[in-house]
Amino acid sequence: MFNNERISKRGKTVNKAVKLIIIVVVLIMVYFGFLHMKIQEGKQQAIPEEADYLIILGARVKGTIPTLSLQYRIDKAAEYLKENEQTVAIVSGGKGPGEDISEAQAMQQGLIEQGIEEARIIMEDKSTTTYENIVFSKALIPDPAAQGVMVSNDFHIYRAVAIATKQGLNIKGLPAKTPKVAVPKSYIREYLAITKYYLTELSGK
């Protein structure tokens, strides 16, 4: 009898634990679904013509060669700059481990190779994070209220524009493709980065 009661209690405890795990998993899936929706919304912004400036956010460089993610950003920026000849480009990104040149220099070289005049390109080569990309680039913009465009891979646009808007910039996000092989890793990392951003905002830091 005693053993039966113990087994019954243990079974109830296990059932409660399983239910709790299921609830937590469902909540996490719902939350990630919400984040994915926000990321998708970030891709759908109306892009203004003849923006005063365009910021390209940095990504990894292998030695002196842009990774595919960065190359896609360079290509998208060059496309816009060719169509909007009054727009000035700010290339933003410092030099990290495994990089022989700064991300900004790699972007500058990439734009020049695609026919963008060097005189239209402003270098910001000290930043190491998205937040620093935006804050350091803002310091190079004479009028933060001017119309801007920001280029990054599509998964990154939502958070980048949110940070830039918080900094008082009048800016829209221009999404570049994300390499297919990098999609799962990029999105998972971005879910965590957005969560960190939300928590930072809630804490008022």
On average, the pLDDT of the chain sits at 92
Phi then psi for residue 11, to 5 deg, are -65, -40
Contact predicate 149/174, CB 8 Å: yes
Q: Is 104 exposed, middle or buried (0-12, 13-18, 19+ CB in 10 A)?
A: buried
Tokens of 54: 């365009």
CATH code linked to domain 53-203: 3.40.50.620
Q: Is 174 exposed, middle or buried (0-12, 13-18, 19+ CB in 10 A)?
A: buried
Q: Coil, strand or helix: which one is 18?
A: helix
What is the Cα–Cα distance from 82 to 77, expressed in whole angstroms?
9
Mind listing the pLDDT tens digit for each residue in 114-155?
A: 999 999 999 999 999 999 999 999 999 988 889 999 999 999
Tokens of 78: 């060059």
The pLDDT score that the predictor gives to residue 55 is 98
What is the Cα–Cα distance from 119 to 111, expressed in whole angstroms?
11
Mind listing the pLDDT tens digit for each residue in 65-91?
A: 999 999 999 999 999 999 999 999 999
pLDDT mean over 9-30: 83
What is the Cα–Cα distance from 170 to 149, expressed in whole angstroms?
8
The pLDDT score that the predictor gives to residue 123 is 97
More confident residue, 200 or 13: 200
Contact predicate 73/104, CB 8 Å: no
The pLDDT score that the predictor gives to residue 179 is 95
The residues, any chain, with a CB within 8 Å of residue 24's CB and separated by 6 or more, are none
